Amino acid sequence: MQVKWKSLRDNFARQIRLQENMKPGSVPGKKYIYMDQLSFLGPYVHRRESRSLLSEDSKDSNDSSNEDSKPLAAIALSSDPMEVSTSQTQFHFVPIQPKSQEPPLKKVARCLDELVNMQKDDKLDDPLGNKKFLLSLLPFMKKLPDDVNLEVRLQLMSVLETYTHGKN
* Cα–Cα distance for residue pair 18/32, rounded to 1 Å: 11
Residue 74: φ, ψ to 5°:
-90, 130
Is the full-model pTM beyond 0.85?
no
pLDDT digits (tens, 9 = 90+) for 20-54: 887 777 777 777 888 888 888 777 776 555 555 55
| Predicted pLDDT at 132 | 86
Give me the mean pLDDT over the 105-110 stretch. Answer: 88
For the chain, which residues make up each domain, given as ranges? 2-48+70-95, 104-167
pLDDT digits (tens, 9 = 90+) for 54-96: 555 555 554 544 445 555 555 555 555 555 455 555 666 666 6
* Cα–Cα distance for residue pair 56/53, rounded to 1 Å: 5
* Cα–Cα distance for residue pair 91/105, rounded to 1 Å: 39
> Which strand (E) or helix (H) includes residue 72?
strand 72-77
Specify which residues 77 forms β-bridges with.
Answer: 90
104 pLDDT more than 60: yes
Give me the mean pLDDT over the 3-26 stretch. Answer: 83
Task: Give residue 168's pLDDT band: very low, low, confident or very high (50, 70, 90).
Answer: low
| Predicted pLDDT at 103 | 80
| Predicted pLDDT at 22 | 79
* Alpha carbon 29 to its chain's center: 41
pLDDT digits (tens, 9 = 90+) for 141-150: 999 999 999 9
16 pLDDT more than 60: yes
